[in-house]
Amino acid sequence: MEEKEYLGYTPDYIDTLLPNQVFVFGSNVLGYHTGGASRMAKKFGAVWGQPEGIQGQSYAIPVDFGKGNITPDIQHYIDRFIAYAKAHPENHFLVTRIGCGIAGFTEKEMAVHFRDALTMRNVSLPRSFVNVLQNGNCQDFNLERFVKAQDDIYGSYKEALEEIKSGRKTGHWIWYIFPQMKGLGHSHNSEYYGLSGEDEARAYLNHAVLGARLKEITKAFLELNAHSANAVLGWPDDLKVQSCMTLFDIVSPDDVFAEVLNKYYDGTRCPKTMMRIGRRQAKPSLKKLTITKDYRIILGDKEIKMEPLVKAVYLLFLKHPEGIAFKLLPDYRKELTSIYGELKPLGLNDRVIRSIEDVTNPLLNSINEKCSRIRAAFISEIEEPFAKEYYVTGKSGEAKKISLPRDLVIWE
């Protein structure tokens, strides 16, 4: 980040600091830096278990005493920070949206505590805090940038809607049609059309033109007979839309955005978006895994396809919820051969037998290669970390296993 970006307001996203800059963030009372800005602060020297004060190139202010619980101590801690900043004019302090993430406060509730810092030359405040202190509100969003882009002759909203309805995106309009959180991308468009947070997303959704268009094109996307978001949008735009749906699902729950996440992303929200706004990812419900009579592997409405020997390895581990240590694979050679024989009754030739011997030889890499293919088969159809419950995992030297509870496995 260039130095000029830090002049005036605190940037919405900070991932690097100049030598004289200090990242000022809100901490919980225990100093557990696990989410939101406090997680980023660890990169700048924040110390686990230290809830207040200077820590490397970061400064912690305790604001989280339990969600929604504002105590008189908050002003005390902020006054101590202001005194520290006044005593260190050689440093420039970048105050983040303290208290407005995991702690659950609004900009109006938190900004008033920083009134004495408003005129300090070596302290930058978030734009929303400054707007509250100067104007009594924090709704200073330039949403017309989206209207102008969507009404442009090239890459217009009309063009985007037609492409979505056709089932295949070909234009370059993703940033201003399905906006996501600022800071997730590195291009000019991702920054310019990035949304600063929940307040701007809510204002976007409430905008007479933009909100209606977003819902219209999202419904068109939802109504497609497509097996995946990637088939319609391609990569990485499928991830950008997941981020967009995540943000708007947060500001408008139980809406069409949640339906898109459920249909195309197995209910999984974008983890980077969740972390950026200080929310925790809800673990999606696990779906039942069905092994049909002809040994097809069905997850929900999707078939997980594998080559015969890879599938035989998968079924072997599925039959052993306790796991199998690779060093003990020779003990399972007969069982694996039997499983393969059921998959391919006429296919047990000398070549296959040698391949099974290689897979069950712990001194060779064949078993690792087969497990990698199993993993690839699942993550090609469903998102991480959801997929991790279904493929073979385990630490080196320990038994490898499939974590999926076996009451969710149906053998027809």
**Residue 163 and residue 171 in contact, taking contact as beta carbons nearer than 8 Å:** yes
Fold of 3-135: Leucine Aminopeptidase, subunit E; domain 1 (3.40.220)
Looking at the domain covering 289-411, what would its CATH class be? mainly alpha
291 Cβ contact partners less than 8 Å away, ≥ 6 residues apart = 297, 298, 315, 318, 409, 410, 411, 412
**Residue 98 and residue 75 in contact, taking contact as beta carbons nearer than 8 Å:** no
pLDDT band at 68; cut points 50, 70, 90: very low
Strands 297-299 and 92-95: unpaired
**Cα torsion at 267, 273, 275, 280 (round to 10°)?**
-30
Q: Cα(63)–Cα(44) distance, rounded to whole angstroms?
A: 19
Give the pLDDT confidence score for residue 411 in this predicted structure.
93
pLDDT band at 129; cut points 50, 70, 90: confident
Unique residue bearing structure tokens 């293919």: 373
267: left (phi over 0), alpha (psi -120 to 50) or beta: left
What does the pLDDT look like over 76-128, one tens digit per residue? Answer: 899 999 999 999 999 999 999 888 877 777 778 888 899 889 888 899 998 88
Please report, for the chain, the start and end positions of each structural domain, with discontinuous segments joined by +. Answer: 3-135, 144-276, 289-411
Strands 92-95 and 409-411: unpaired
Burial of 335 (0-12, 13-18, 19+ CB in 10 A): middle
Q: Cα(234)–Cα(307) distance, rounded to whole angstroms?
A: 25
pLDDT band at 384; cut points 50, 70, 90: low
Burial of 319 (0-12, 13-18, 19+ CB in 10 A): middle
Per DSSP, the three-state class of 228 is coil
Give the pLDDT confidence score for residue 136 in this predicted structure.
59
Per DSSP, the three-state class of 27 is strand
Whether residue 230 has pLDDT greater than 70? yes
Q: Cα(54)–Cα(22) distance, rounded to whole angstroms?
A: 9
The H or E element spanning position 398 is: none
Whether residue 29 has pLDDT greater than 60? yes
231 Cβ contact partners less than 8 Å away, ≥ 6 residues apart = 167
Whether residue 301 has pLDDT greater than 60? yes
Unique residue bearing structure tokens 């900004």: 111
Tokens of 243: 């981020």
Per DSSP, the three-state class of 290 is strand
What does the pLDDT look like over 339-353, one tens digit per residue? Answer: 999 988 776 788 889
Closest-CA residue to 384 (of 290, 289, 306, 281):
281
Fold of 144-276: 1.25.40
Tokens of 251: 């500001």
Whether residue 19 has pLDDT greater than 70? yes
Amino acid at 355: S
Q: 100: which DSSP letter?
A: S
Interval 374-386 mean pLDDT:
80
Helices 256-265 and 237-251, interaxial angle, to 10°? Answer: 140
Does 3-135 match 289-411 in CATH topology?
A: no
Stated pTM of the model: 0.44
